Amino acid sequence: MTHPLFEEAKQYIVGGVNSPVRAFTGVGGEPLFVESAQGARVHASDGRAYIDYVGSWGPMIGGHSRPEVIEAVQRAASRGLSFGAPTEVETAMAKRICELVPSIERVRMVNSGTEATMTAIRLARGYTGRERVVKFEGNYHGHSDSLLVKAGSGALTQGVPNSPGVPAGLADLTMTLPYNDLDAVRQAFAEKGDEIACIIVEPVAGNMNCIPPEAGFLEGLKSVCEEYGAVLIFDEVMTGFRLAPGGAQEWAGVTPHLTTLGKIVGGGMPVGALGGQQKIMEYLSPMGPVYQAGTLSGNPLGMAAGLAMMDIISEPGFHARLDQRTAQLCDGLLEAAREAGIPLRINRVPGMFGLFFTDEQGPISRFSQVSACDQDRFKRFFHGMLEQGVYLAPSAFEAGFVSSAHSEQDIASTVDAARTVMARL
Ligand code: PMP
């Protein structure tokens, strides 16, 4: 039976959702409708509370409805919702970002991750005077035309559109290479290096499940970029402030020329940002010739929520605790799978994890390995967990997120649920 709220939504909203993965297309069935959320739980319209490992797809690293965040937004709202003129809180936000992420010397606030990456590649193109962009298979950088491109038939062929509506001529400028394959990157630059403006990469991939970089991969990207005069962009929309206060670049010890941010930076409000070396950032308008603008950019409610969330992640020991909780969850799930005789592999970094139902014995580090996993078993696991009151990301290609609000007890309950579900998988 179709959920009445979903049925009605479909009468007015395309597909009943405002972002496709919410429709449960990856797992089948119908989405949860959320009424409210507190701490580690979302309360759904079916009257049940679910332990939540989606966390609004990343922003809720400190848990839902943190009083500090809500109150900061309420205080800001009482002074007005938007002015379209500079405010002091925007400087506070930019200063905070520069302090936490030292490779960022100048910042521009935008309204989503998509806007951040779209602007970053325009800036890289404007700065270098080159048009080609290198990205990686299985990485997602939002839905701007140049980035909604998949690999052509051979690794070094030009990209093809991922969606109707993306002009083939533009897709042709995007080269999509295998993640963690430095040889492919070197070969691409050997052939077209003087035409490549930038490499954009998820420093830990979270949009093809969870795939950390192999040792030397990020360092290699940086040295190739420096050799050929291209810009290295770390898309830290997902990893920023999560893996460490300074994001994946702090965690990995490799700094890019430009960084894109989203999710946590807005604490749950629609906020994104890009930042990086001053000499590159100053190519942006109004200082430089590369145009970029936004009516609501630097919105005071977004800045207030983001700053409050950044206070939370700056508490001493925050990431160590998050890492420990992530480890507890992953160890528990592996143990439950072992007991049930289900082949399961898990990748994890602080606050982020990915489950792979696969017989592979070695590391899972390529998109092709993710695609080869048992999708059907994942779907049954997902729905089984939902029945048990645990809300995982509704797709085998999305990373899961742990927040600081997940208590040891929440994690133990999650592992118990997994034991029940795996026994009948
Ligand atoms: N980059 C990455 C790495 C992302 O994970 C996402 C969204 N999941 C985006 C960009 C796009 O961000 P938004 O959905 O805010 O446009």
Pairing of strands 149-150, 231-235: unpaired
Nearest 5°: phi and psi at 73?
-70, -40
Query: 4 alpha carbon to ligand 1 midpoint, in Å?
Result: 30
Query: What is the atom index within ligand 1 of the atom nearest the CA of 263?
Result: 15
Distance from residue 234's CA to the centre of ligand 1 (Å): 12
Q: CA geometry: angle at 354 spanning 425 and 360, to 5°?
A: 70
**157: pLDDT strictly greater than 70:** no
Q: Per-residue confidence at 335, pLDDT binned at 50, 70, 90?
A: very high
pLDDT of res. 404: 98
Residues catalogued as catalytic: 140, 235, 263
Contacts of 77 (CB under 8 A, 6+ apart): 301
pLDDT digits (tens, 9 = 90+) for 55-86: 999 999 999 999 999 999 999 999 999 999 99
Q: Mean pLDDT across the stretch 99-123?
A: 98
How close is the Cα of 45 to the center of ligand 1, in Å? 27
Relative orientation angle of helices 300-313 and 88-100, to the nearest 10 degrees:
30
Partners of residue 52 on adjacent β-strands: 391
pLDDT, position 156: 53
Ligand 1 probe mutation, 111, 144, 207, most atoms within 8 A of CB: 207
pLDDT tens digits for range 26-55: 899 999 999 999 999 999 999 999 999 999
> To test ligand 1's pocket by mutation, which of 17, 115, 141, 274 has the most ligand atoms within 8 angstroms of CB?
141
Residues 149-157, mean pLDDT to the nearest whole number: 68
Over 90: is that where the pLDDT of 306 sits? Answer: yes
Dist. CA 158 → ligand 1 center (Å): 23
Closest CA to 229 of 202, 192, 261: 192
* Interatomic CA distance for residues 309 and 303, integer angstroms: 10
Q: Which atom of ligand 1 is nearest to the CA of 19?
A: 14
Residue 80 and residue 307: Cα distance in Å, rounded? 17
Nearest CA to ligand 1 atom 7: 142
Q: What is the pLDDT of residues 371-419, one digit of tens each?
A: 999 999 999 999 999 999 999 999 999 999 999 999 999 999 999 999 9
Residue 61: CB atoms within 10 A of its CB come to: 26
Pocket test for ligand 1, best of 114, 274, 395 (most atoms within 8 A of CB): 114
* Torsion angle in degrees (nearest 10) through CA of 50, 53, 54, 55: 90
What average pLDDT does this structure show over 261-267? 98
By residue count, the chain amounts to: 425
pTM above 0.90, yes or no: yes
> 96 CA distance to ligand 1 centroid (A)?
21
Q: Which residue has the higher pLDDT, 25 or 272?
A: 272
Give the nearest ligand 1 atom to 115 CA. 16
Whether 2 shows a pLDDT value over 90: the answer reads no
Rounded to 5°, angle at Cα 258 from 257 and 264: 140
At residue 161, the pLDDT reads 85
pLDDT band at 153 (very low <50, low <70, confident <90, very high): low
**Average pLDDT of every residue of the chain:** 96
Nearest atom (ligand 1) to Cα of 142 = 11
CB atoms within 10 A of CB 366: 18
State mean pLDDT over 250-272.
98
Ligand 1 center–CA 34 separation, angstroms: 21
pLDDT at residue 151 in the model: 80
- Ramachandran region, residue 15 (left: φ > 0; alpha: ψ -120 to 50; beta: rest): left
For residues 182-194, give the mean pLDDT.
97
Question: CB under 6 Å to ligand 1: residues?
Answer: 57, 112-114, 117, 140-142, 202, 206-207, 235, 237-238, 262, 272
